[in-house]
Amino acid sequence: MTPTEASECVAEKFTRVMNATPSPLGPFSDFTAASVLAGAIVAGGFFGIRRSNDPSLLYVVLALAAVPLVASAFLSLSLRGSRAKVVEWLCALPFPVDNLNAILAGLGDTVEIVFAADAHLPTRVTLQPRLEAVSEDVLLLKERSDERTLEIRLGVIDSKRLPLRSNHRRWQRLLDLMEKVIVPLAQSNAIERVRIV
């Protein structure tokens, strides 16, 4: 895949969530979590300074509450180069990947592998142990031999409290699945394309 083709496979401009997904530090850029932490610091600080006569403690509490918000903002800015890393990864694959934006935005959890017309599909018996080597939660859902397609579920459960953490886990699982299963599979069975749904 050429860099131009890879660049056309993903959004032209990444959102904050899409930038955070590929990075292990991405969950720490979550403004909602930072706001909750800042609120907890303010509430605890106000409770503590109620019993004090020192008015300067108010500024200390407010400064401490600002730390998670500022750190989150700086981290979000530092992750703006994620698109270039994703495009570079796509260029290294021997087949195109459609709808990668779904994983980056935290929406997709199923990978469809579409084989070339002359390829033979691996059976569940041979493929499932390789999938379980990635994670016990990865599951071969369907074998659609008439469409030369396999559906694989990544099996990452969304976190309601820290969705960016779930997004990164799903991204990492996709990388592991590609590296350990799909790319080696493409060496013996021609893969036409991979789709995220």
Same domain membership, residue 107 and residue 52: no
Give yes or no: residues 192 and 98 share one domain. Answer: yes
Q: Is the pTM of this model over 0.75?
A: yes
- 98/175 same-domain check: yes
**pLDDT (0 to 100) of residue 173:** 96
Total of domains in the chain = 2
Q: Are residues 118 and 186 in the same domain?
A: yes
Is the residue at 8 inside a domain? no
pLDDT band at 2 (very low <50, low <70, confident <90, very high): confident
pLDDT digits (tens, 9 = 90+) for 87-130: 999 999 999 999 999 999 998 899 999 999 888 889 899 999 99
Domain C-terminal end among 59, 80, 101:
80
Structure tokens, 124: 């569940």
Same domain, 28 and 110: no
Domain presence at residue 111: yes
Q: What is the mean pLDDT of the chain?
A: 92
Among 80, 105, 132, residue at a domain's last position:
80
Q: How confident is the model at residue 133 (pLDDT cuts 50, 70, 90)?
A: very high
Let me know if residue 45 belongs to a domain: yes
pLDDT the model gives residue 71:
94
Rg of the chain (C-alpha set): 22
Q: Are 76 and 97 found together in one domain?
A: no
Q: Residue 62's domain spans which residues? A: 18-80
Residues 44 and 103 grouped into a single domain: no
124 C-beta neighbours (distance < 10 Å), count: 13
Is the model's pLDDT at 153 over the cut of 90? yes
In a domain, 88, yes or no: no
pLDDT tens-digit series, residues 65-94: 999 999 999 999 999 999 999 999 999 999
The C-alpha atoms of residue 42 and residue 60 are separated, in whole angstroms, by: 10
110 and 183 together in one domain: yes
What are the E-state strand segments in the chain? 97-98, 110-115, 139-144, 149-153, 191-196
| Distance, CA of 24 to CA of 89 (rounded, Å) | 16
pLDDT score, position 121: 87
CA angle 25, 66, 166 (to 5 degrees): 25
Is the same domain home to 100 and 172?
yes
The residue behind tokens 């903002």 is 73
CB distance 194 to 116 below 8 Å: no
Task: Please report whether residue 7 resides in a domain.
Answer: no
Specify the amino acid at residue 84: A
Are residues 140 and 161 both part of a single domain? Answer: yes
